[in-house]
Amino acid sequence: MSPPWHPERLAARLPFLRRRARLRAEVAGFLAARGYAEVETPVLQPCPGMEPNLDPFVTRYAAKLGTEARPLFLQFSPEFAMKKLLAGGAGPIFQFARVFRNGEAGPCHQPEFTMLEWYRPGLDLAGLMDETEALLRAVVPEGLRRGGRVVATDRPFARLTVAEAFDRFVGVDVLASAGDAAGLAAAAGVALRPGETWQDLFFRLLLERIEPAIGQDVPAFLTHWPAAEAALARRDPADPRVALRFELFAAGLELANAYEELTDPDEQRARFAAWRAERLAATGEDRAPDEDFLAALEHGLPPCAGIALGFDRLAMLACGARRIEDVLWLPAV
């Protein structure tokens, strides 16, 4: 096969690439009109993120050639850096960030890709859903296209909680099963695989039964995730079993992950410690947290909500492209 820069292959992608460029400009214009400032933060970070299921690219930095070098990581997300700016008083901000995840490949994955993230102080999860819906309606009014299906953006998006989705599509009370893998397997009518944890089974059922069923006619927000999957979201004060988190799905793709952000530095440090122990037990790697990020939380992160949206995937659905490579000028792999 000819390389992706070959005139014939590039010409075949040009309509998609031109639509991508317009999409980026339209997204930036939408956010700027709402008072967001575009920022740029470093790709190289002292810690790429703490999630135990993500594998980083590692490089080494020396202040001068021949001197001792220290490791730096290509970021999973600009989240830590952008929250530092929020703690410093930057106000509403957005970024088209280059992000990196090792061990990911496929029709909808690249190890290097573009993440659109935006954060607004004072915004709650419901307000962020409203804004995300308004953004997609403004920049892709014709709908999202994949495999001959059109997912309408000119109608209200679906909103359902994780508990509602598991009740409807799996037939289980997922919150009542929290931490009980055998109980969840029995209720769902599946065999528990060797070594499968509750979290493993939760995501297997989500992938097999829920994701294919939602976001097919209109995009769907899946909200209020179990507290064990809170990540960097704060727990719901009205129901501590769940976290104020949503993911957005359309045409069988996860497009975005969003939080009403955790601002408590002590709880954040405890979550990082748990992730650190989990990674150490699973891989033998000991990953220290970004202490500068924790210092920013200590200084004071304002109440806010933020979202990470896979811009390449949005471009795919805006163009009706089959593969992520179709909307990239030059794929990394």
The per-residue pLDDT for range 114-162, each reduced to its tens digit, is 999 999 999 999 999 999 999 999 999 999 999 889 999 999 999 999 9
The per-residue pLDDT for range 158-210, each reduced to its tens digit, is 999 999 999 999 999 999 999 999 999 999 999 999 999 999 999 999 999 99
Residue 307 three-state SS: strand
Rounded to an integer, the average pLDDT of 241-247 is: 98
**How would you classify the pairing of strands 239-250 and 253-260?**
antiparallel
CA distances from 65 to 46, 59, 60, 61, 73 (A): 20, 15, 11, 9, 19
Q: What is the pLDDT of residue 48?
A: 86
Is residue 219's pLDDT more than 90? yes
Distance, CA of 263 to CA of 276 (rounded, Å): 20
Residue 99 three-state SS: strand
Q: What is the pLDDT of residue 66?
A: 78
The per-residue pLDDT for range 23-80, each reduced to its tens digit, is 999 999 999 999 999 999 999 999 888 888 888 999 999 988 878 889 999 999 999 9
SS (H, E, C) 181-225: HHHHHHHHCCCCCCCCCHHHHHHHHHHHHHHHHCCCCCCEEEEEE
Burial class (CB in 10 A: 0-12, 13-18, 19+), 267: middle
Q: Identify whether the C-beta of residue 150 lies closer than 8 Å to the C-beta of residue 144.
A: yes
Return the closest-CA partner of residue 166 out of 192, 187, 190, 195: 187
The tokens for 248 are 């957005």
Rounded to an integer, the average pLDDT of 108-114 is: 93
Q: What is the pTM of this model?
A: 0.94
Distance, CA of 46 to CA of 289 (rounded, Å): 8
